[in-house]
Structure 1
Amino acid sequence: MSDENKHHATAAAILPLVGGAENVASVAHCMTRLRLGLRDRSLVRDEQLKALPAVMGVVEDDTCQIVLGPGTVARVTPEFEALVEAERTGAATASPAPDRGDGPVTAEALAAQGAALRAQRKARNATPFKLFLRRIANIFVPLIPALIGCGIIAGLNGLLVNLHWLPGVTPALAAVASGFMALIAVFVGHNTAKEFGGTPVLGGAIASIIVYAGVADVEVFGRHLSPGQGGVLGALGAAWLGVCVEKWCRRRVPEALDVLVTPTVTVLVAGLATLFGLMFLAGEVSTRIGDGADRLLSHGGAGAGFLLGGLFLPLVMLGLHQALIPIHTTLIEGAGFTVLLPILAMAGAGQVGAAIAVYCRLRHNTSIRTTVKSALWPGFLGVGEPLIYGVSLPLGRPFVTACTGGAFGGAFVGLFNQLGTDVGSTAIGPSGWALFPLLDGNHGPGRTVAVYAAGLVVGYVTGFLATYCFGFTKAMLTEFDTAPAPSAEDRPAPAERAAEKI
C-alpha cells in the first residue's frame, strides 16, 4: 500500500470511530496529534480507536486528541478533512473500521485507568486561568512547523559556516532561515486575533507595526523605538487590544459604515497604543525573560535543571506547561535558541527509562510488556503520551520514578549551562531524539549535541534504576507480574491435554 493510500485508510478508519462527520465540529493538528472538536464525546469508541495500528494513544482535553506521531499527523489530517467534507455532502461515505475485538485484559485495565486520570485532569484544568493559558498555546502551536523548518535550516547553515563550506550558498540559507523569524510577530498577531474572535488580518496588520523599520523614528519616554522591540509578546498584546477595539466598534458602528470605520479605527487606536506603550513595555518584559533565564542557569543550573526536568510532566498534567510556550518563543526570538527546552526534554527520557524497567520487572505480564514495546520507540522520538497514559501514570509509582530520571537528566544539562556551555533548541515542539537537528549553543554543534545526548543517557539510566529498584512494591508485583489466564480459545482440548501428559 502506498503512503497516500495508507494515510487515507487511517483517516477512513478514524472517522466512524469518532461518531462520523456530523459529530466533527472542527479539525486541526499539532506536531503529533489530530485534534478534533466533537459535538458529542460519548460517540467516540475509545478502545477501538486505540486499537488502530496508526494510533499511538488518545488524549482527552478540550478537544479529542488522537496521537499519530510527527509527520504522519500532517498527512492524515487533510485526508480526514476531505472525508469529513465528502460525507457531509453525501459524495462518499467512510467505511467502518473492522472490529478488532478486545485486547489483553491487563492492558485494558491500565488504559481505563489512564482514561480516568485524563478525565480527572481535564476537570481540574477547566479553570479560567488554565483555559486562558490554553488559548495562548493555541496562538503559538500553529507556528511550530515553521519554527522547526527554519530552525533546522539555521542549524545546517551554521554548520556550513563553521566548516567554511559553500560560502556562496550560506547567505541564501541564512535568508531562508531568518525570514520567518523576522516576521513572526505578524503571524502571532494574526493567530491572536483569530483565537480571540477578531479579524485575523487586522491582528496581523497591527502586529506588523512592531517589525516595521520606520518605528526607529518614533520617540517614546525619551528613547527611540527599535524595529522588533517587544517581539512576540508585544504582538500578542497589540492584536488582543485590536480585537477589543474591533468588537467595541462592531457593537456601535452602523452596518452601512462598518466596512470603512471599524478596520480604520481598530488599526489606528491599537496601532498608536502599540507604538506609545505596548512596544516599550513588552520590550522590557522580553529583556527580563532573557536575562532571567541566563541568570537562572548560570548561577543555579544544576538545581534549576533538576526542578525543571523533574516537575515538567506534573506541570503538563496540570496544564501549566502552556505558559512556557511564549517564553520559549521569546528566547528563540532574542538569543536564537531556548535553553529551557533541552532541559524539559529530559522528562521524556525519564519516562523511557522507566518503561524499560517496567518491561524488565513484569516478565510474566505479556499484556503490559506488549504495550511498552509498542510505545517505546515513539517515546525515544519524543512522543511520550502512550508511555505516560498507557504505562507509568496508571501504575502510579513508576510515574514518580520516571520523573526522577527527568530530574537527574535536567540537572546534568543544567550543570553544563552553569559551567558556560549553553545547550539550546532553535524551535519548540520536538523532544527526545527528534530534537537533535534543532540543537544550538554557544560552543558549536559538536559540544551541544554531546551534552544533550549524555543528558538523555542520564535520564534513561536514572529512570530505569529508580523504577527497577523503587517503582514496585511487593504487592504491586504480585498483582501485575502474573501471566494472564489463557482464554477458552487458547486452552487445549481434552484430547490434546491427555496427549501432552503422555
Structure 2
Amino acid sequence: MPDEKHRGTAEAILPLVGGPANIHSVAHCMTRMRLGLNDRSLVDEDALRALPAVLGVVADDTYQIVLGPGTVARVTPELQRLVDASAPRAAGGAGEPAGSREPAGGEAAVDAGELARRGARLRAQAGARNATPVRLLLRRVANIFVPLIPALIGCGIVAGVNGALANLGWATGLVPALAAISSGFMSLIAVFVGYNTAKEFGGTPILGAAVACVTVYAGVAKVEAFGHHLAPGQGGVLGALGAALLAVQVERWTRRVMPDALDVLLAPMVTVLVTGLVALFGLMFVAGEVSTGIGDLATWLLAHGGALAGLVLGGMFLPLVMLGLHQALIPIHTTLIAQQGSTVLLPILAMAGAGQVGCALAVYARLRRNPSIRATIRSALPAGLLGVGEPLIYGVSLPLGRPFVTACVGGACGGAVVGLLGQLGTAVGSTAIGPSGWALFPLLAGPHGFAASAAVYAAGLVTGYATGFLATYFFGFTRGMLAELDVPAPGNDRSPAPGDAADPGRRSTG
C-alpha cells in the first residue's frame, strides 16, 4: 500500500511539471525532489502546490518539490521509473502547457493561494538578484555534499546509540562493532568528496576519488612536508575537495595536449601523479591548518561569544536560507564533524526553524477569520516541527513581510539560549547535517551526555517557539494588514471542513 501511495504521488506530479519529455534529470536530497526541466513555463505550479503530498516548491537552478524526509526518497524513484518508461513515447512532445485552469477571481481578500504567489515572486526576485558567480559556486559545492547526508545521518545515529551504550555500560561487547560501523564512513568520507567533486566540475569521478584516497592512506605518515610528518586524513574534506578540483584542471589540460593514441594511458597517470604530489607536499598541510582553524574558531565562538554568537547565528539563518547562502556552511559542518565528531553550529542554526514555527502559530491565532491561510499553516506545521521550513517560509511568513522579521527574532533568541548554555559549559553538537527541528534530537551529542544535550536543545526550541509567537502576535501585523488579511476568503465564509486542512491549495480565490 505505501508503494502504491508514493507511485500515485509520482503519477500526479508528472503531468503537472510538463510530462516526461520536459524532464532531463531527477534527483533528491533530504527533503526535496530536484527536477531538471527543459521548459519551466509548462509547470502548473498552482495545481502542483495543491497536491496533498507537496509541502512547497522552490524554483532554483533545479525545480525543487518539497515532499519531506522519507517521502522524497520513495517518490523520486517512482517518478524516475515513470520518466524512463515514457521515454520512447515522449519524443513527440513535452506535454500539455500549464494554465488550463480557470484564473482565480475575487481580489477582496488575501488567501493562501495569493500568499503562495507572493512567496513565489519574492523567491524569484531573490534568485535573480543573487544569481552571482559566488552563489552559483556555493550551489555546486552543496551538490558535492548533499548526496552524503543519508550516510552522515545513519552513521551519526549509530554513533549516538553507541555512545549511550558505552556510558551506561550496556552491551559492552557490541560497542566496538558499532564504533566500526559508525566510524567507517567518516574515515573515508574524503574519498566520496573527491568523487563527487570531480563529477560536479566535469572531470572523471574515479580520478577525483583516486587523488582523495592519497589523503587518507596510512602511508602518508612517512611523508614530510613543511618540516612535519603528515597524518592520514590531514586536511579532511577540504583537502580532498582541493585535490579533486586540481585533478579536474590537470585532467583537462592533459587531454588537450595529449595525442589521442596516448590519452588513455597518460592522461590518468599524469592527473593522479601531479595532483597526488601537490596534495602531499602542499594541499594536505594547508587544508589541515584551515580545518584546525575552523574547529578552533567554532570552539572559541561558543566559549567566548556565547549568547551574542547564538543571537547572530540564529537570527541570520532564515535570510541565508532564503538567499541560498546557507550552502556555504555545509563544508564547515562536515569539517567539524570529521574533526570533532559533531558540529556545534547546527543546533544553534536550527533555532531559526523554531522561530518560524512560533511565528506561524501566531499568524494562525491572529487571522482567525481567514480559513485559507489557517489551513495552509495546519498543513505545513508538522513539516516545520520536523525542520522542513520552506512551506512556512514561502507560503506564510515571507510573503506577509513583517512576520518573517519576527520569525528571525524568535530564531535569534533561541540561538542565544543555546549559545549561552554552551558558554556556561553545556555545549551541544550534531553528529550529522540535514535534519533540524525535532528530527535533530537523535543526532545530538555533547560532553555531558545525551540527556544534557537534549535539555539544552529543547530549551532553545521552546525559547524560539515562544519568542517567535510573541514577537509575531504583538508586532507582526499592522492594523492595515489585519484589515486586509483577517477576513474570510471570497465565497468561503465558513470554517474549513476537517478534510480541507490537508489540501489547502485546492481552494479557489473566487
TM-score (norm 2): 0.93
Paired residues of 2:110 and 2:484 also in contact (CA < 8 A): no
Residues 410-445 of structure 1: CA deviation (Å, up to 9, x unaligned)? 000000111111110000010000000000011100
CA distance in 1, matches of 2:62, 2:10: 17
Structure 1 residues 466 and 489, CA gap change in structure 2 (3 angstroms): closer
Answering whether residue 273 of structure 2 is matched by residue 265 of structure 1, we say no
**SS at 1:185's partner residue?**
helix
Partner of residue 34, structure 2: 35
Paired residues of 1:16 and 1:94 also in contact (CA < 8 A): no
Q: 1:67-466 maps to which residues of 2 (within 5 A)?
A: 67-90=66-89, 106-466=111-471
Q: What is the identity percentage for the equivalent residue pairs of Structure 1 and Structure 2?
A: 71
Partner of residue 497, structure 1: none
Q: CA deviation at 1:108?
A: 1.1
Q: CA deviation at 1:290?
A: 0.2
Q: CA deviation at 1:486?
A: 2.2
Residues 145-180 of structure 1: CA deviation (Å, up to 9, x unaligned)? 000000000000000101111111111111000000
Q: CA deviation at 1:446?
A: 0.5
| Structure 1 gap segments, 5+ residues each | 491-502
Partner of residue 504, structure 2: none
Paired residues of 1:13 and 1:95 also in contact (CA < 8 A): no
Residues 97-119 of structure 1: CA deviation (Å, up to 9, x unaligned)? 9x998889611110110010110
Q: CA deviation at 1:91?
A: 10
Q: CA deviation at 1:487?
A: 6.0
Paired residues of 1:37 and 1:64 also in contact (CA < 8 A): yes
Amino acid at match of 1:410: G
Partner of residue 500, structure 2: none
Amino acid at match of 2:196: N
Q: CA deviation at 1:318?
A: 2.1
Paired residues of 1:51 and 1:100 also in contact (CA < 8 A): no
**SS at 2:34's partner residue?**
strand
CA distance in 2, matches of 1:432, 1:244: 40
Paired residues of 1:186 and 1:235 also in contact (CA < 8 A): yes
Paired residues of 1:206 and 1:242 also in contact (CA < 8 A): yes
How many pairs does the alignment contain?
A: 488
Partner of residue 495, structure 1: none
Structure 1 residues 358 and 95, CA gap change in structure 2 (3 angstroms): same
| Structure 2 gap segments, 5+ residues each | 496-510
Cα RMSD of the aligned pairs, angstroms, is: 2.1
Amino acid at match of 2:29: C
CA distance in 1, matches of 2:95, 2:211: 47
**SS at 1:59's partner residue?**
strand
Q: Which runs of 4+ in 1 moved over 4 A?
A: 91-97, 99-105, 487-490
Paired residues of 1:7 and 1:75 also in contact (CA < 8 A): yes
**SS at 1:66's partner residue?**
strand
CA distance in 1, matches of 2:403, 2:156: 34
Shifted more, 404-413 versus 254-263: the winner is 254-263
CA distance in 2, matches of 1:357, 1:488: 21
Q: CA deviation at 1:254?
A: 1.6
CA distance in 2, matches of 1:36, 1:256: 39
Partner of residue 61, structure 2: 62
TM-score (norm 1): 0.94
CA distance in 1, matches of 2:349, 2:492: 43
Residues 361-388 of structure 1: CA deviation (Å, up to 9, x unaligned)? 0010111111111011100000000000
